[in-house]
Amino acid sequence: MSKTVITVGLGSCGIAAGAAKTYSQLELIKKADNLDFELKKTSCVGMCFREPLVEISDETGTWLYGPVDVARADEIVEKHIKNFSPVQEYLVLSDSVSTADRSFLEGQVKIALRNCGKIDPESIDEYEAQGGYDALRKIVSESLSPQEVVSMVSASGLRGRGGGGFPTGQKWNFARHSQASQKFVICNADEGDPGAFMDRSILEGDPHAVIEGMIICGYAIGASQGYIYCRAEYPLAIKRLAIALSQARQRGYLGKDPMGMDGFFFDITIKEGAGAFVCGEETALIASIEGQRGMPRRRPPFPAHSGLWKSPTIINNVETLVNIPQIVLNGPEQFASLGTDNSKGTKVFAITGKIRNGGLVEVPMGISIRDIVFKLGGGMSGNKNFKAVQLGGPSGGCIPEYLANTKVDFDSVNATGAIMGSGGMVVMDESTCVVDIARFFLDFTQKESCGKCTFCRIGTKRMLEILTRLTEGEGCEGDLEKLEELAIHIKDGSLCGLGQTAPNPVLTTLKYFRSEYEAHIHHKKCPALLCKKLLTYTIHQEKCTGCTACFKGCPADAIISTKRQPHSIIEEKCIKCGICFTKCKFQAILIS
């Protein structure tokens, strides 16, 4: 009889949902009732919408439960462990029973996330048991030369997953052929796109895979030192990376002659970022590691020729690097068999916003946006209709519902005016105002602009001012043309990706939702009923019972009240705070 194992998902998102409390509760019950099961930790499996997740695996198979709070943990132990009767009510997945949540996994192909939510990220043994460090072993046993490794990566067709989509093998080739006594590998873990969290999940869930990818890169280009530049906002990721690094050193994967690779030395240091979105840009990131303000510089020279301390440097994103061991181990052909002509392999997307099943999904390139939203994501979270997705964060753009059959690969997404970016996909429904979204992103890029280039520094501010005016009902004729003109100049006049892409959210929403902008300007109306200052509150005379609840709540004395008579709102006095709407129990407050 196999031993029963209970595994709790303890990624940052799980912990935020209360997984640590669930874990302690299980520990407590196990001790108190002297139960015979093994309690284990893992990381995020991607099904964030059901966190905290608890998996029970026993002789009947595996049973995934969620959300499991402390009370439910008690109940599940009582029923499932003590009485061998699975609790259908909280069941997310099982081998034997079909559940609605299964659709979330159908169509997913896990390469980058293969170990996330499966192994204990703090155990090198569990990583090795899944074939961890076997790619390094293969390089040694088959005596693959650095050039052969580079060629494998090139043949796989892997393109950078951080946003740019530059062919990884080509980049490595540049660095490999740069003559220098010292070269560097940097893992870009400065995931700053608000709405993307796949890198965090990988770092927390499978840190050894990132390390293995970096060692292979170091070997391929001839580097001796690696850096992981990780956001300080990801303390758990940093902690698990540090644990993994010391384990890898102990086992001889890092340091002098790893795995007996003669004459090769490689070690890795963690550098904590200090909070600046622009440091995701490679030259700014380098400046930051060097201890300066994170300001980008002109390219060329590209970092592969002259990067950190003027040495050839490869900067790869987390998701790019975790694909490397699998490419080396299984051969480039297997990776290249997935995806489309110009975009090979899989891509991880973080689906969030107005979506039922928010979380992380890894799908082959070329799947449609509609499939991600409706098949995997389960459709909208509320009862409103799907309106658009924002892809690529502040550098990306809005793709409207009627283009939802667009395939997610680098070229198809770029053709819409959005970008793949790091894979943040924010789903919006009819109650999301695109002008407000554009304003939100401009507010972000304007604050995060490092200030070096004038157009980015001042241009984003002017754009933000116009957008803010629009959402406040102060828009005027010519504003849209001004936005477009500024957008062109900012794109042309900025050194780095931040400025060059900052206008994208505005340009794409203008392209696909121009009438919504026009409604804000000409009719002073927000079609999504979101921009507060553009709303009109009225009271439905038949529905109003004259209960005075709205009158008592109104902070502006804007409601005329006679007891048991229908009330009314004085529009001039109304400050549009919405309190009357929340106070009314009879749905008598109308918003238009």
Partner 1 sequence: MRVQKISPANTEAPSVEPVDLSLMDGLIKSYRGKKGNLIPLLQGTQEIYGFLPREAILKLCSETGHDLSELYGVATFYAQFRLSPTGKHLIKMCHGTACHVLQVSEVTEGILDYLEIQEGQTTPDRLFTFETVACLGCCSLAPVMMIGDEAHGKLSPQNALKIVKDIRRNEISLLTSPTI
Burial of residue 444, with CB atoms counted within 10 A of its CB: 0-12 exposed, 13-18 middle, 19 or more buried: buried
In the bound complex, what is the minimum distance in angstroms from residue 542's beta carbon to partner 1? Answer: 29
DSSP 104: G
Residue closer to partner 1 by CB (options 144, 287) is 287
Contact of 413 with 501, CB cutoff 8 Å = no
Of 106, 139, 493, 587, nearest to 324 by C-alpha is: 139
Residue closer to partner 1 by CB (options 86, 296) is 296
Residue 325 engages partner 1 in binding (rule: CB under 8 A): no
Residue 353 engages partner 1 in binding (rule: CB under 8 A): yes
Gap between the Cα atoms of 4 and 39, Å rounded? 9
Task: Pick from 24, 88, 145, 292 the residue near partner 1 by CB under 8 A.
Answer: 292
367 Cβ neighbours under 8 A, 6+ residues apart: 107, 407, 408
Of the candidate spans 23-31, 70-78, 248-256, 265-273, the one that interacts with partner 1 by CB under 8 A turns out to be 265-273
344 Cβ neighbours under 8 A, 6+ residues apart: 156, 157, 158, 159, 335, 336, 338, 365
Task: Pick from 6, 8, 13, 324 the residue near partner 1 by CB under 8 A.
Answer: 13
Task: Pick from 190, 193, 281, 282 the residue near partner 1 by CB under 8 A.
Answer: 193
Residue 451 engages partner 1 in binding (rule: CB under 8 A): yes
In the bound complex, what is the minimum distance in angstroms from residue 204's beta carbon to partner 1? Answer: 10
Gap between the Cα atoms of 301 and 311, Å rounded? 11
Task: Pick from 24, 275, 518, 565 the residue near partner 1 by CB under 8 A.
Answer: 275
Residue 349 engages partner 1 in binding (rule: CB under 8 A): no
Task: Pick from 401, 430, 448, 516 the residue near partner 1 by CB under 8 A.
Answer: 448
Residue closer to partner 1 by CB (options 125, 290) is 290
Of the candidate spans 188-196, 260-268, 322-330, 469-477, the one that interacts with partner 1 by CB under 8 A turns out to be 188-196
Contact of 335 with 324, CB cutoff 8 Å = no
Task: Pick from 253, 335, 444, 551 the residue near partner 1 by CB under 8 A.
Answer: 444
Residue closer to partner 1 by CB (options 192, 475) is 192
Task: Pick from 345, 359, 497, 503 the residue near partner 1 by CB under 8 A.
Answer: 359
Gap between the Cα atoms of 195 and 199, Å rounded? 12
Residue 17 engages partner 1 in binding (rule: CB under 8 A): yes
How many residues bind partner 1 (CB under 8 A)? The answer is: 58
| Contacting partner 1 within 34-93 (CB under 8 A) | 48-49, 51
Half-sphere exposure of 458 (CA within 13 A, CB side): 5
Residue closer to partner 1 by CB (options 47, 327) is 47
In the bound complex, what is the minimum distance in angstroms from residue 418's beta carbon to partner 1? Answer: 13
Gap between the Cα atoms of 121 and 100, Å rounded? 28
The pair of structure tokens assigned to 531 is 């921009």
Residue 291 engages partner 1 in binding (rule: CB under 8 A): yes
Residue closer to partner 1 by CB (options 263, 555) is 555
The pair of structure tokens assigned to 138 is 């293969």
Task: Pick from 121, 169, 192, 397 the residue near partner 1 by CB under 8 A.
Answer: 192
Residue 390 engages partner 1 in binding (rule: CB under 8 A): yes
Triad 176, 178, 180: Cα angle to 5°: 110
Residue 350 engages partner 1 in binding (rule: CB under 8 A): yes
SS3 364: strand
Residue 309 engages partner 1 in binding (rule: CB under 8 A): yes
Residue closer to partner 1 by CB (options 152, 228) is 228
Residue 278 engages partner 1 in binding (rule: CB under 8 A): yes
Task: Pick from 274, 415, 476, 575 the residue near partner 1 by CB under 8 A.
Answer: 274
DSSP 288: H
Phi, psi of 398 (to 5 degrees): -90, 130
Residue 232 engages partner 1 in binding (rule: CB under 8 A): yes
The pair of structure tokens assigned to 221 is 């280009």
Task: Pick from 303, 358, 364, 400 the residue near partner 1 by CB under 8 A.
Answer: 358
In the bound complex, what is the minimum distance in angstroms from residue 452's beta carbon to partner 1? Answer: 9
Residue 222 engages partner 1 in binding (rule: CB under 8 A): no
542 Cβ neighbours under 8 A, 6+ residues apart: 566
Gap between the Cα atoms of 107 and 105, Å rounded? 6
Contact of 296 with 496, CB cutoff 8 Å = yes
Runs of H (alpha helix) within 10-90? 12-16, 19-32, 70-76, 83
CA distances for 212 relative to 135, 143, 244, 316, 349, angstroms: 8, 17, 11, 13, 23
Half-sphere exposure of 413 (CA within 13 A, CB side): 32
CA distances for 318 relative to 98, 198, 232, 285, 348, angstroms: 34, 9, 15, 14, 11
Residue 233 engages partner 1 in binding (rule: CB under 8 A): yes
Residue 432 engages partner 1 in binding (rule: CB under 8 A): yes
Residue 10 engages partner 1 in binding (rule: CB under 8 A): no
Residue 297 engages partner 1 in binding (rule: CB under 8 A): no
Q: Tell me which residues touch partner 1 (CB under 8 A).
A: 12-13, 15-17, 48-49, 51, 191-197, 200, 232-234, 271-278, 288-294, 309, 350, 352-354, 358-359, 390, 393, 424, 426, 428, 432, 437, 440-441, 444, 446-451, 457
